Amino acid sequence: MNRAVRLSWVFFAGVLACATTAQADTGTALRAKFESLKPALANNPFGRPLVLDSVEATGRLQGDIHAVLNYPIGAVSAALRQPAQWCAVLSLHSNTKHCRTSVTAAGQRLLVHVGTKSQQDLARSSPLDFGFRVTAQTPDTLEVSLQAMSGPLGTSDYRIALEVVALPGDRTFLHLAYSYGYGMPGRMALQTYLATAGSGKVGFSREAGSARAVPQLVGGLRGLVERNTMRYYLAIDALLDSLQASPEARFERRLQRWFTATEQYPQQLHEMDWPTYRQMKVAEQARQQDAL
């Protein structure tokens, strides 16, 4: 073996070792997080093993969910490493009007159109062009990243990050992070929404340092990002549940599962009745099929 070939193998081995170490670190960190959150996962207001946090920093919002899924890691990984399944996840959100996947020179992508909470022409919706990557995968772990550089209402740098690790008993521990940035125009647009259509809406976390006898739920921008993070988590759960049905029954089961789950938190997530939601999503699904 000549010197150039030996150096190539040394370099490849080094890259492989770094990737393996990073994947092992993901599993170790997630399992440690699971252990630290065990009390909160067992005792919380959600009625399921779930912990939700949010952060409002300068020019950025982020929501984080840690939860236990009653599905084995193999089923979770097989579903969530596929871009088309993420279209199925994102399309459950009332504001998502269309989603399609593509492969470009830059990699796999999801083009998502978002708009109003009613039937809407795609020409009047706003695109989010997500790059999709599986950033790490082992038999016991999976990491997925979606990122869109620009969004509606002056927002930018949308990121959806998923990490999962196997737990005993054919369960999976999940961390879902949803975040985006905004400048001054974006903040003004978001504040306008919160003063009108989003007026009075709240999130799930309790206000810190509240002097009221009954703790108040966060509102404003933190409430907004918490609601959407929860919607995406419930959509992941609905997708995984639907995969247990026949292919012909999966779409309807996904819709029903997601809608029923959101209605468990009416103060935060109720938007419309079931017939209205179903009619809208059936029409959007038909439009997607026609575009194929």
Which domains are present in the chain? 13-291 (3.30.530.20)
pLDDT by residue, tens only, the chain of 292 residues? 554 444 344 333 343 344 444 455 778 999 999 999 999 999 999 999 999 999 999 899 999 999 999 999 999 999 999 999 999 999 999 999 999 999 999 899 999 999 999 999 999 999 999 999 999 999 999 999 999 999 998 899 999 999 999 999 999 999 999 999 998 888 888 888 888 877 889 999 998 765 555 678 999 999 999 999 999 999 999 999 999 999 999 999 999 999 999 999 999 999 999 999 999 999 999 998 887 6
pTM recorded for the entire structure: 0.89
- DSSP letters, the chain, are --HHHHHHHHHHHHHHHHHHHHHHHHHHHHHHHHHHHHHHHHS-TTSSSEEEEEEEETTEEEEEEEEEESS-HHHHHHHHT-HHHHHHHHTTSTTEEEEEEEEETTEEEEEEEE--SS---GGGSEEEEEEEEEEEEETTEEEEEEEEEE-STTEEEEEEEEEEEEETTTEEEEEEEEEEEE-HHHHHHHHHHHHTTTTT---SSBPTT--SSSPPBP-HHHHHHHHHHHHHHHHHHHHHHHTTS-GGGHHHHHHHHHHHHHTTSHHHH--S-HHHHHHHHHHHHHHHHHH-
